[in-house]
Structures are given as C-alpha cells and as structure tokens.
Amino acid sequence: MTALPYGSPAHHSFITNVGLITSTGPHGENVMAAEWTHHISYEPGMIAVCLGPNKATAENILATAEFGVSIASTDQNVIASIAGSKHGKEYDKVAALKELGYQFLPGATIKPPTVEGARLRAECRLIDHRTYGDHIMFVGEVQRAETDESKDPAAYHKGKYWHVGENIPKPPQEEMERIKAVVERYRK
C-alpha cells in the first residue's frame, strides 16, 4: 500500500474543485472545504464527499444525515481558505464569514444553508457512507440544486486556487482524420 500524502508530488498531480460543505448538528452550523467532492450520478443526482472522520462536518453529517454542497466560484477563495483551515469544533466559521460579508442562503429541503455566490448549490440527503482508508465517503442524493452560470468554478491544484485556463485546441483536421481512421481499424 502506497501513501499519497497531502502536498506530495502524487497529490499534486490532481486537479479538483472545491466543495464548501455545510452542515448542522452537534457542532452547530458549519462549513468546511472539501476538494474531494464529486458528482457521481445524473439521475437521481448524487454527490459524494470524502471527509476525515474527526472533522466537525463528518460528525454533523453522521448525526443529521444531510448536508449542503456549494461548488466554490473563482471569487470564493477566501471562504474556502477559512472553511478549510479552521475546525468547526473550535471556531464558528459561519458567523465569522457572515461578519466578513459573506452570505448563506437557508436550505429549502434541508436544515443546513448553502453559500451565496457559489457556482452550484446543492441540498443533499445522506443515502450511504463508507470508510475508505483514512476518509469516509458520504453519498448524498440531491434534493434541490441551483447553478449560477455567471460564475466560474474555482479549480484547486498544488494547494492553490486557479481559474480554469485556456481550452486545449483539437489537433488539425488532417491529424483528426488520421486518428479516426486508426481507431476505426480497431473497432471490435
């Protein structure tokens, strides 16, 4: 078994997004950052988040079986840094963020709020959870989702936040045709 520790070259090979995971429960209203936030089913909509078991968020979700997922936009790096560096057992991050001018929107189908200004805000009910290695994967079924297409999602890479860069151009038409012809020769 090989470790891929935080900040190692292996960990730095990944590009992820930043989920702002909101919860309520024994640790009160809370928000944390989770780059391991994935869309895993279209219909029904499902989102998986992988959280360390000692995080306030993990304990809140285990107690209440619901959570919010706000996919951070490019202007939400400060929220992500605060949500991702302080523990909800020690800090009221939601109150601090509100004082800093950020807003949370009340959940319509769940108790936790979502984060105003995020690219995607999804309200999730926990349908499954399972421990993999040193994290718990929580799978939520989306009850309600709203996108703000005026926002771009922030990318997370090498411990920093990024704008998604330029679109990679396709090879020239001649090369595209050669690729297609080669692939077609291997049709089963």
Instruction: Determine which residue in the list 11, 28, 36, 116 makes contact with ligand FMN, applying CB under 6 A.
Output: 36
Q: Which stretch binds ligand FMN (CB under 6 A): 28-36, 40-48, 63-71, 174-182?
A: 28-36
Instruction: Determine which residue in the list 46, 47, 48, 50 makes contact with ligand FMN, applying CB under 6 A.
Output: 50
Q: Which runs of consecutive H residues, i.e. helices, occur in 15-170?
A: 56-64, 77-83, 93-99
Of 114-173, which residues contact ligand FMN (CB under 6 A)?
135, 156
The single-letter DSSP state of residue 66 is: E
Which residues does 181 contact at the CB level (< 8 Å), separation at least 6? Answer: none
Q: Which stretch binds ligand FMN (CB under 6 A): 81-89, 98-106, 115-123, 142-150?
A: 81-89
Which residues does 134 contact at the CB level (< 8 Å), separation at least 6? Answer: 52, 53
Q: How far is the CB of 60 from ligand FMN (least distance, A)?
A: 8
Which residues does 83 contact at the CB level (< 8 Å), separation at least 6? Answer: 20, 31, 32, 33, 93, 97
Residues that bind ligand FMN (CB under 6 A): 18, 30, 32-36, 50-52, 55-57, 80-81, 84-88, 135, 156
